[in-house]
């Protein structure tokens, strides 16, 4: 039997509210189930244990929310993205809504940066936070094999902060390139014990032209 | 639920997704339009509780009443409990986030004895007094059911009402009564008196127990004339029309059984003499293949799971198995849905089924001969011969399988050293069988796992009067078996005898054990079925300090004429039948299954249709 033709479709969605307490692996499983429920003409991998194709652009870590998240799926018919978004949106868990669909323009490897909104429960002032993060930012950074002190400032493309009655809201644009992803938690780590609690929302994913990843 | 008040806690615990609700399929009702707020409480982790089919069915029944909202609650793992206690956050329901103490009714399911401490701890963590007697009108009604409710006595002091038997309709009746009493402004006491008159409802506070000097029960009497002396179980008669949820919450984090579960039938035609399920769920009631198929399709649509597991006590006894598999395989293959069957009885493991089963994923091949010799298998009424076991294994090997798992029990009544050696011998002959087959010389060879549990005498079985072996004896037997195994093709694992001992204490316990359970919870015991929390030494100390002799419950031969702690519960089978079976066991005499011949277990007058269909008295 001829394997069916396949088209890659890009789904834009959000991971917010209580779904931030769900790990990426568990999220993946939930999305696969939603794909099956949706009735979309899924393309299954060939072979012994066929499964639908699902690739995430850049999963957020557990405890982080994402307002613009992206995954690609493979389908066997070139159906209208609007229709696909409706079909999948109808069966996604409540805190992970679908916000759109499109046939991909860019490849995931063209991902360049991500912007974040980080609420800090702290006595630090916005100016102090900005100052700290605009200099050298040396943190203990984990990479694949080792854990070493690294200056992450080259991966910080911009920070700004404002004071609120509860602490500071930090806006940050960080590298999200496939080979240089900077998890926003390092910024919070760097600020140290003075931050009692933090909540992170990833607002946008950008390509090299600093346009939303499409 | 709104997780704002617990966000600092969630940041510190493992798998925070256990505590937030918000799963796909979650049922939210408007709390202002319902009259009865309930939480179904599962006294173990979220992952285990979310997998429980019984809970899904009962919540489905309750929530189909427009005036009820029945939410979920689970036992938080100890990291979360610590944080909750530290921050003063009481246990809450996952949908609304509202505190359990503000609910009208908390319904606990008692699946295994070792979860008793969890149930009581969940009350405590909710800010609710553990003991029913200490709970005034301001606290929720605490009800409980499930398999362990057949002997409710060890937890009698904590629970207001037990539902005995299958609760689909009975629970709804109870809740309807609750609502009526609430609307009429009746007190809890008034409600309980009324509830005791409903079929299947047991209100422990309405009975008094007195004891003889030797510790056995002298009398068990209702306090009032209108309170029934015996509580009859409730059960469904027609499974095709039985309520079954084809939609339910889907756990975000991985549940223990992350798949569709089809209940194929209830009850079991066999009467293995150690098996409580085989007795209390009588008679056998099957779903038709069409019902199963329709439910499977609906479940697939609503869940998107890619695996169906067919669940029942002894699945290969299902009379419609071939037809059901055919119907299911008719669409599941195309949809890439796997079918899986639970452990099979080896004797009905026919080649034909084997062939079909090749398209069916099996959660490993497992067989349960339970005893190593024919003599002992006759004692326990496991009607299966060595030839049948070998034929089953041969079929499995011919089908290309090379690993299987066998379940046995240690400490069964009348067991001798020969019976223990018999286990190793049987496993060895299965290994030899594999190598006697030409084609089965694949890489890796054969692997036979023998998993041995310790016999726990359970209420409402013919062995309910029989003692459990003492811990030393069980350990000796476990070691003896180990020495009998001479090949690495056989791997051997066995249950902790100390855990089984505690299980036996509770299984055959009476009301006096409530004091020990309460004390255990005060001293921090919980999750007793988890290795990391089970603490034998601590339990022994607790028994000593509460004046309880645990061996009185676990290791004593009880008398046929003795009043047993659970005698006021009528599970369908009669004591006469159980005594007959106990005597047959000692005489090494087997009893045929229900389809071959009815043994007049007591259900013949209570709606059993098996004996009317084929079996002859
Ligand atoms: S086959 Fe025996 S052990 Fe299995 S459920 Fe039936 S009675 Fe119990
Ligand atoms: S009445 Fe007869 S056929 Fe029915 S469950 Fe009892 S023994 Fe089996």
Question: B283: CA distance to ligand 2 center in Å?
Answer: 6
Residue pair B53/B261 in contact by the 8 Å Cβ criterion: yes
Spatial separation of the C-alpha atoms in residues B496 and A200, rounded to whole Å: 46
3-state secondary structure of B125: helix
**Closest residue, chain B, to A46 (C-alpha):** B336
- β-strand partners of B250: B24
Whole-number pLDDT of residue B361: 57
- CB–CB of B24 and A44 under 8 A? no
Mean pLDDT of B34-39: 98
pLDDT at B614 over 50: no
| Average pLDDT of the residues of chain B | 93
Fold of B4-232: Rossmann fold (3.40.50)
Spatial separation of the C-alpha atoms in residues A20 and B20, rounded to whole Å: 10
Mean pLDDT of B481-491: 93
Spatial separation of the C-alpha atoms in residues B279 and B273, rounded to whole Å: 9
Chain A residues with CB under 8 Å of B20 CB are 18, 21
Mean pLDDT of B135-155: 97
Q: What percent of chain A has pLDDT over 70?
A: 99
**Closest residue, chain A, to B298 (C-alpha):** A37
Mean pLDDT of B484-492: 93
Mean pLDDT of A25-36: 95
Whole-number pLDDT of residue B562: 97
Retrieve residue B613's tokens: 């269909």
Whole-number pLDDT of residue B380: 97
Residues of chain B with CATH 3.40.50.280: 4-232
**pLDDT digits 0-9 by tens, A66-112:** 999 999 999 999 999 999 999 999 999 999 999 999 999 999 999 99
Structural domains of chain A, with CATH: 7-104 (3.30.70.580), 109-207 (3.30.70.1560)
Whole-number pLDDT of residue A21: 97
Residues of chain B with CATH 3.20.20.70: 260-512+548-554
**Closest residue, chain A, to B95 (C-alpha):** A18
Mean pLDDT of B573-587: 97
| Among protein residues, the one whose CA lies closest to atom 6 of ligand 2 | B601
Query: How big is the CA angle at B317 (ends B315 and B322), to the nearest 5 degrees?
Result: 80
Residues 6 or more apart whose CB falls under 8 angstroms from that of B2 comprise: B97
Whole-number pLDDT of residue B349: 54
Spatial separation of the C-alpha atoms in residues A21 and B9, rounded to whole Å: 12
Any idea which of B306-315, B369-378, B478-487 has the lowest mean pLDDT? B306-315
**pLDDT digits 0-9 by tens, B66-116:** 999 999 999 999 999 999 999 999 999 999 999 999 999 999 999 999 999
Q: Which of residues 33-62 of A touch B (CB under 8 A)?
A: 33-37, 44, 50, 62
Mean pLDDT of B125-154: 97
The helix-helix angle for B471-484 and B497-507 (nearest 10°) equals 140
Retrieve residue A7's tokens: 């088209």
- CB–CB of B24 and A34 under 8 A? yes
- CB–CB of A199 and B7 under 8 A? yes
Whole-number pLDDT of residue B151: 98
Q: How many CB pairs under 8 A join A and B?
A: 67
Banded pLDDT at B288 (limits 50, 70, 90): very high
Q: Cβ of A17 under 8 Å from any chain B Cβ? A: yes
Domain B260-512+548-554, classified CATH 3.20.20.70, yes or no: yes
**Closest residue, chain A, to B249 (C-alpha):** A93
Cα distances from B160 to residues B135, B172, B196, B388, in angstroms, run: 10, 16, 10, 48
Chain B residues with CB under 8 Å of A26 CB are 17, 252-254
**How many Cβ atoms from other residues are within 10 Å of residue A53's Cβ?**
16
Whole-number pLDDT of residue B384: 86
Whole-number pLDDT of residue B383: 86
| Among protein residues, the one whose CA lies closest to atom 1 of ligand 2 | B604
What is the CB < 6 Å shell around ligand 1? B 268, 270-272, 275, 277-278, 313-314
Spatial separation of the C-alpha atoms in residues B230 and A82, rounded to whole Å: 63
Mean pLDDT of B384-411: 86
Whole-number pLDDT of residue B322: 86
**Closest residue, chain B, to A91 (C-alpha):** B24
pLDDT at B329 over 80: yes
Spatial separation of the C-alpha atoms in residues A43 and A65, rounded to whole Å: 29
- Nearest alpha carbon to residue B55 among B280, B248, B198, B218: B248
**How many Cβ atoms from other residues are within 10 Å of residue A123's Cβ?**
11
If one compares B255 and B570, the residue with the highest pLDDT of the two is B570
Question: B310: CA distance to ligand 2 center in Å?
Answer: 24
pLDDT at A214 over 70: yes
- CB–CB of B304 and A29 under 8 A? no
Chain A residues with CB under 8 Å of B24 CB are 30, 33-34, 91-94
Nearest by CB to residue B17, choosing from A22, A35, A37, is A22
Mean pLDDT of B409-437: 94
Chain A residues with CB under 8 Å of B7 CB are 197, 199
How close A94 comes to chain B (CA, Å)? 7
Please state whether beta strands B490-494 and B569-570 pair in parallel, antiparallel, or not at all (unpaired).
unpaired
pLDDT at B350 over 70: no
Nearest by CB to residue B17, choosing from A26, A36, A92, is A26
| Among protein residues, the one whose CA lies closest to atom 5 of ligand 2 | B283
Chain A residues with CB under 8 Å of B301 CB are 37
Whole-number pLDDT of residue B315: 84
Which residue out of A1, A25, A36 would a mutagenesis test of the B interface target, given it has the greatest number of B Cβ atoms within 10 Å?
Answer: A36
Banded pLDDT at B256 (limits 50, 70, 90): confident
Chain B residues with CB under 8 Å of A41 CB are none
Please state whether beta strands A7-15 and A64-75 pair in parallel, antiparallel, or not at all (unpaired).
antiparallel
* Residue A124 φ/ψ region, left for φ over 0, alpha for ψ in the -120 to 50 degree band, beta for the rest: beta
How close B300 comes to chain A (CA, Å)? 8
Q: What percent of chain B has pLDDT over 90?
A: 82
**How many Cβ atoms from other residues are within 10 Å of residue B133's Cβ?**
9
**pLDDT digits 0-9 by tens, B307-319:** 998 889 888 889 9
Whole-number pLDDT of residue B438: 65
- Closest ligand 1 atom to residue B269 Cα is 6
pLDDT at B616 over 50: no
Whole-number pLDDT of residue B617: 39
- β-strand partners of B309: B261, B340
If one compares B565 and A48, the residue with the highest pLDDT of the two is B565
From the CA of B594, the nearest ligand is 2
Spatial separation of the C-alpha atoms in residues A82 and A100, rounded to whole Å: 7
From the CA of B235, the nearest ligand is 2
Spatial separation of the C-alpha atoms in residues B194 and B180, rounded to whole Å: 11
**pLDDT digits 0-9 by tens, B225-254:** 999 999 999 999 999 999 999 999 999 988
Question: B554: CA distance to ligand 2 center in Å?
Answer: 29
Q: Cβ of A29 under 8 Å from any chain B Cβ? A: yes
Cα distances from B198 to residues A14, A29, A205, B178, in angstroms, run: 50, 44, 61, 12
Whole-number pLDDT of residue B615: 43
pTM, to two decimals: 0.94
Chain B residues with CB under 8 Å of A50 CB are 336
């Amino acid at each position: 039997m001829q394997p069916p033709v396949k088209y890659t479709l890009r789904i834009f969605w959000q991971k917010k509210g209580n779904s931030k307490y769900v790990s990426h692996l568990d999220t993946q499983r939930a999305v696969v189930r939603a794909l099956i429920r949706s009735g979309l003409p899924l393309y299954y991998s060939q072979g012994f244990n066929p499964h639908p194709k699902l690739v995430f652009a850049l999963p957020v870590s557990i405890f982080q929310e994402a307002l613009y998240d992206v995954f690609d799926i493979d389908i066997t018919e070139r159906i209208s993205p609007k229709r696909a978004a409706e079909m999948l949106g109808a069966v996604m868990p409540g805190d992970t809504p679908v916000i759109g669909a499109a046939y991909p323009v860019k490849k995931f490897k063209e991902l360049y940066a991500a912007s974040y909104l980080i609420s800090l429960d702290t006595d630090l002032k916005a100016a102090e936070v900005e100052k700290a993060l605009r200099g050298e930012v040396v943190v203990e950074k984990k990479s694949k094999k080792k854990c070493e002190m690294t200056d992450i400032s080259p991966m910080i493309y911009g920070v700004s902060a404002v004071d609120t009655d509860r602490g500071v809201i930090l806006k940050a644009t960080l590298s999200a390139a496939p080979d240089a992803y900077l998890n926003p938690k390092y910024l919070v780590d760097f600020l140290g014990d003075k931050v009692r609690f933090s909540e992170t929302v990833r607002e946008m994913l950008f390509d090299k032209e600093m346009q939303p990843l499409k | 639920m709104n997780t704002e008040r617990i966000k600092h806690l969630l940041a510190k615990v493992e798998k925070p997704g256990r505590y937030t609700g918000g799963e796909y399929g979650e049922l939210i009702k408007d709390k202002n339009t319902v009259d009865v707020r309930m939480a179904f409480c599962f006294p173990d982790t979220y992952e285990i509780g979310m997998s429980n089919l019984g809970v899904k069915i009962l919540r489905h029944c309750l929530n189909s009443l427009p005036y009820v909202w029945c939410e979920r609650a689970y036992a938080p793992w100890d990291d979360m409990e610590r944080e909750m206690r530290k921050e003063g956050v009481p246990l809450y329901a996952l949908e609304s986030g509202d505190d359990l103490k503000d609910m009208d009714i908390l319904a606990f399911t008692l699946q295994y004895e070792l979860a008793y401490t969890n149930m009581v701890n969940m009350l405590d963590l909710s800010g609710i007094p553990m003991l029913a007697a200490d709970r005034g009108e301001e606290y929720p009604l605490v009800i409980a059911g499930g398999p362990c409710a057949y002997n409710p006595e060890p937890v009698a002091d904590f629970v207001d009402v037990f539902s005995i038997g299958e609760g689909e309709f009975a629970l709804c009746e109870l809740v309807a009564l609750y609502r009526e009493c609430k609307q009429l402004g009746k007190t809890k006491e008034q409600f309980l008196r009324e509830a005791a008159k409903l079929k299947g409802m047991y209100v422990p506070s309405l009975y008094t127990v007195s004891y003889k000097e030797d510790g056995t029960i002298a009398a068990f009497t209702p306090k009032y004339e209108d309170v029934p002396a015996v509580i009859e179980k409730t059960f469904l008669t027609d499974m095709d029309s039985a309520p079954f949820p084809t939609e339910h919450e889907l756990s975000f984090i991985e549940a223990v059984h992350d798949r569709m579960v089809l209940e194929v039938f209830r009850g079991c035609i066999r009467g293995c003499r150690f098996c409580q399920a085989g007795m209390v769920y009588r008679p056998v009631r099957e779903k038709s293949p069409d019902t199963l198929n329709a439910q499977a399709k609906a479940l697939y649509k609503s869940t998107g799971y890619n695996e169906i597991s067919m669940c029942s006590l002894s699945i290969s006894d299902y009379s419609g198995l071939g037809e059901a598999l055919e119907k299911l395989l008719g669409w599941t293959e195309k949809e890439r849905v796997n079918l899986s069957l639970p452990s099979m009885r080896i004797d009905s493991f026919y080649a034909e089924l084997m062939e079909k089963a090749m398209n069916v994923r099996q959660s490993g091949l497992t067989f349960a001969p339970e005893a190593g010799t024919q003599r002992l298998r006759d004692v326990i009424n496991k009607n299966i011969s060595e030839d049948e076991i070998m034929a089953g294994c041969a079929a499995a090997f011919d089908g290309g399988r090379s690993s299987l798992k066998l379940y046995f029990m240690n400490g069964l009544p009348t067991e001798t050293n020969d019976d223990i050696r018999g286990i190793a011998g049987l496993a060895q002959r299965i290994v030899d069988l594999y190598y006697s087959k030409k084609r089965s010389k694949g890489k890796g060879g054969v692997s036979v796992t023998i998993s041995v549990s310790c016999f726990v005498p359970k209420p409402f079985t013919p062995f309910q009067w029989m003692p459990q072996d003492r811990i030393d004896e069980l350990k000796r037997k476990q070691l003896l078996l180990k020495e009998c195994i001479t090949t690495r093709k056989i791997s051997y694992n066995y249950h902790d005898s100390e855990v089984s001992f505690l299980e036996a204490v509770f299984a055959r316990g009476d009301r006096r054990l409530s004091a020990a359970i309460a004390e255990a919870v005060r001293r921090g015991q919980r999750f007793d079925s988890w290795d990391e929390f089970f603490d034998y030494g601590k339990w022994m100390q607790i028994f000593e300090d509460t004046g309880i002799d645990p061996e009185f419950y676990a290791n004593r031969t009880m008398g046929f004429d003795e009043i047993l702690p659970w005698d006021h519960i009528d599970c369908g089978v009669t004591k006469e039948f159980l005594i007959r079976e106990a005597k047959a066991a000692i005489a090494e005499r087997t009893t045929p299954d229900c389809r071959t011949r009815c043994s007049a277990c007591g259900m013949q007058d209570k709606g059993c249709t098996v004996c009317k269909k084929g079996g002859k008295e």
